[in-house]
Chain A
Amino acid sequence: MHSVQEHKIETSKEKQNRHKAMEAIKVLNTLKEEFRTPPKAMNYFYNLFEEVYCNQKPLHNDKVKVGTMCIQIPSEIIYALDAVPIRLCNGFYTDDEIGSDLLPQKACPLVKASVGHLSSKNLTDKPDMIYSPTTCDQKTKAGSLISSFGYDVVDVDFPRTKESEISREFFRRSIHNFSVDLSHKMGKKLTKKNLRASISKIGYAQSLYHKLSEFRKNKIVPILGNDIFLVTNAFFFDKIDNWINATEKLVEELEQRVKEGLHVAGKVSPRIVYTGSPPIFPNYKIPLIIEDSDAIIVADETCSSNRMFNDRVAVDEWFVNDMIDSLADKYLKACTCPVFSKNDDRIRRIIELVRSHNADGVIYQAFAGCTVYELEQRSVLEAMEKAGISILYLESDYSPSQHGQLSTRVEAFMESLKIKNRKKA
């Protein structure tokens, strides 16, 4: 008789947690160990991600948690009502696979992963309610699917054009409705004082991001683009005061690094602006390939990083309704998401970033299935060619395979940039 090895059969929750921990730790170890000395202040962020994704540690037990399905829900209003915003955009392949059973195979991996995560009900900081802006088709449909899992999901109407006065009015009303709904659910009122305070707090967080961005304009770049993605990604879910504190320390350390001349890449490493579908932890596949190919990401144009922090709220009058209008304007007008019919702002922003950060080229990534980024590829490529900027377009997804082909493309792109630079010199 052969002996059967005793083994415990995992529950689906245990399996999901184990797989996600494996994905998370792999990326964190790469960031910590494979690259040149990360700043000490990054340890806060490495630990945060490890605690949340490997040890399933909840951060907000004492607070009402407001889930958001996209970037367009003003966190300022959520904080003003003493709740915590948690952005539910997800980067785990494990969750993408769960979501694949619920959505078409060809759907966007980010949407599949977000839906998969929520369908599993296995969340460390489970949202008490979810606001779902009607941005792209897939996110819009995902909202109703998620509500069928038993979550309290509220659609937040979002226009697909942003030039017209109608769309401006439309979104202002939409954000007013959102604030009324949330205020009702929280049993609290938005006041001049609490809203102004939270606008100013987020504004301060934005100013810290701008400081980080300034360092990356220099010849000496003291931090990798992948580390910056981790910092901005933490803003999705971290306690805001802790985030501010940790980022202040990072800014201080980077100042020191610049003084010491500590450059985290090679002398001739190409400087890259990254744009397209957002890298969300732990899907840093393309950013890691880039910085592993002797290049450095000096800026990005994505909704998981630059787009969250770049533009400040411009308030005319500090009355509640005016502040809400200003917030609505900021979340609509400054948005460079490709869902809009026309999106010249995005092209302008990319060119600006290339110039201000002295970049050698642009890498444009679209998730296979992220139709809007796939659609906008053509006009961005044409505009870059016109501006004399080298650009590489890549399609990828959350799967761990395909690494060889992608790295060949990225490496060849870097080799061509280096040759170009050598000729210029």
Chain B
Amino acid sequence: MNYFVGIDIGSTAIKITVIDENREIIGHRISGSGSMFYKYAQQTLSDLLNDLSISSEDICYTVATGYGRKLFKEADENISEITANAIGAVAAAKEFGTIKTIINIGGQDSKAISLDDQGNVVNFAMNDRCAAGTGKFLDACAMNLELTVEELGERHFNASGTPLSINSTCAVFAESEIIGLLGNSHSVEDIISGVHYSIAKRIVKLVKRVGVKEGIYFDGGPALNAGLVNAIENELGHKIFIPQNPQVTTSFGAAIMGIDSYNYQNKNL
């Protein structure tokens, strides 16, 4: 059997997906990036292959993507996470229909990608270098409120009335703003929904830069947060589609890219 591997080395997590030649996902694994991207990526890959009882000889092609893509020397190829995300999203959303717009929130950046009818990237926009509106921002807020990131999603829906506004563009300043709101005896729920809406507003600005087109797909770790999804849908005024495993779309895309490259190279031999 021929297998293909996509490795997405992000700032916060390493995501690996193994697929077969029919583009079916055989398995995936997620682990923290820590400080040693390369070592942890190797470890995660060998753990995943062990779990799936796949020998490394059956891996035909490996594509690395994500912030640390160039560190993974064993990869046959590396591509940017924007291209990989687009390929993965189109494949993962088959049952949903045609994807035209992708929203991705990662550990240290957020992006909006616009696709044409064939699923090619026509335009994209990314946040600037600060952590506002990213997964790290959510982590920081959860920590301030003594909650886990999972709890943020649940408690969002218990907010009463208009969400509070968090204006700070910086995760560090947002922390003092949250402390200020707590000091004014606002409820944790209202603050949580305020945090979600502030991220949603930023991401919607990015989406508007590339153009809002129906067929909106949202992935990356924060897509697991139902409260954030709710806030983005409300700000955008559109339904958005969340895949089953929103963290692994990009590594899935990289693996698919591997099949194409492998076939292309064999054809040209």
Residue of B nearest to A404 (CB): B67
Q: State whether A415 touches B126 (Cβ < 8 A).
A: no
Contact A420 B67 (CB under 8 A): no
Query: Which listed residue (A395, A408, A416) contacts B120, Cβ 8 A?
Result: A416
CB within 8 Å of A: which B75-95 residues? 79-83
Residues of chain A contacted by B60 (CB below 8 angstroms):
none
Question: Out of B121, B124, B126, B128, which one reaches A419, CB within 8 Å?
Answer: B121
Mark interface residues in A400-425 (1 if CB within 8 Å of B CB, else 0). 00101100110110011001100100
A412: contacting residue among B80, B109, B118, B129, CB under 8 A: B80
CB-defined contacts of B82 to chain A, threshold 8 Å: 408-409, 412, 415
A contact residues around B80 at 8 Å (CB): 408, 411-412, 415
Interface pair A395/B128, CB less than 8 Å apart = yes
Residues B83 and A405 in contact, CB atoms below 8 Å apart = no
Closest approach, in angstroms, between the C-beta of B88 and any C-beta of chain A? 14
How many A residues have CB within 8 A of the partner chain? 13
B residues within 8 A CB of A395?
128
Cβ of A415 and Cβ of B81 under 8 Å apart? no
The answer, among B79, B81, B120, B129, for a CB contact under 8 Å with A402, is: B129
Asked if B121 and A415 sit within 8 Å, CB to CB, the answer is yes
Residues facing B in A340-387 (CB within 8 A) are none
Q: Determine how close the nearest CB of chain A comes to the CB of B115; give it in whole angstroms.
A: 10
Q: How many residues of B contact A (CB 8 A)?
A: 15
Against A, the Cβ 8 Å flags (1 = close, 0 = not) of B101-125 are 0000000010000000010111010
Residues of A within 8 A of B118 (CB): 423
Q: Which residues of A have CB within 8 Å of B122?
A: 416
**A411 to chain B: closest residue by CB:** B80
- Whole-angstrom distance from the CB of B95 to the nearest CB of chain A? 25
* Contact pattern, B 53-91, Cβ under 8 Å of A = 1, otherwise 0: 000000000000001000000000001111100000000
Q: A404-B67, A405-B109 are in contact. Are A412 and B124 (CB under 8 A)?
A: yes
Q: A408 to chain B: which residues have CB within 8 Å?
A: 67, 80-82, 126
Chain A residues lying within 8 Å of B120, measured Cβ to Cβ, are 416, 419-420, 423
A residues near B81, Cβ cutoff 8 Å: 408, 412
- Interchain CA distance A64-B214 in the complex, whole Å: 65
What chain A residues lie within 8 Å of B83 (beta carbons)? 412, 415-416, 419
Q: Are B128 and A412 in contact (CB under 8 A)?
A: no
Q: Is the CB of A405 within 8 A of B121?
A: no
- For A420, what are the chain B residues with a Cβ–Cβ distance below 8 Å? 120
Name, among B80, B83, B122, the residue most crowded by chain A CB atoms within 10 Å (CB to CB): B80
Tell me the nearest residue of chain B to A391, going by C-beta: B123
Q: Please, which residues of chain A bring their CB within 8 A of the CB of B79?
A: 411, 415
For residue A423, which residues in chain B have a CB less than 8 angstroms away from its CB? Answer: 118, 120
Least distance between A384 CB and chain B CB atoms (Å) = 11
Q: Are B129 and A405 in contact (CB under 8 A)?
A: yes
Contacts of A419 in B (CB 8 A): 83, 120-121
Closest Cβ neighbor of B122 among chain A residues: A416
Are the C-beta atoms of A412 and B121 separated by less than 8 Å?
yes
Near B by CB (< 8 A), chain A positions 86-104 give none
Using Cβ atoms and an 8 Å threshold, which residues of chain B touch A411? 79-80
Residues 222-236 of chain B, each 1 if its beta carbon lies under 8 Å from chain A, else 0: 000000000000000
CA distance A252 to B231 in the complex (A): 63
CB-CB nearest in chain A for B108: A405
Residues of chain A within 8 A of B109, CB atoms compared: 405
Q: Which of A395, A404, A416, A423 has the most CB of B within 10 A?
A: A416
**Nearest-Cβ distance from residue B128 to partner chain A, whole angstroms:** 7
Mark A36-64 against chain B: 1 for CB-CB distance below 8 A, else 0: 00000000000000000000000000000
Least CB distance from B100 to A in Å reads 15
Contact residues in B for A416 (Cβ distance below 8 Å):
83, 120-122
Measured between beta carbons, the chain B residues less than 8 angstroms from A405 are 109, 126, 129
Give the residue name and chain of the A residue nearest to B127 (CB). Answer: A405
> 8 A-B residue contacts at CB 8 Å?
A402-B129, A408-B81, A408-B126, A412-B80, A412-B81, A412-B124, A415-B79, A419-B121
Known contacts A409-B124, A423-B118; 12 further A-B pairs (Cβ under 8 A): A395-B128, A402-B129, A404-B67, A405-B126, A405-B129, A408-B67, A408-B81, A408-B82, A409-B126, A415-B121, A419-B121, A420-B120
Cβ-closest 6 pairs across A and B: A412-B82, A412-B80, A411-B80, A416-B121, A415-B83, A408-B80
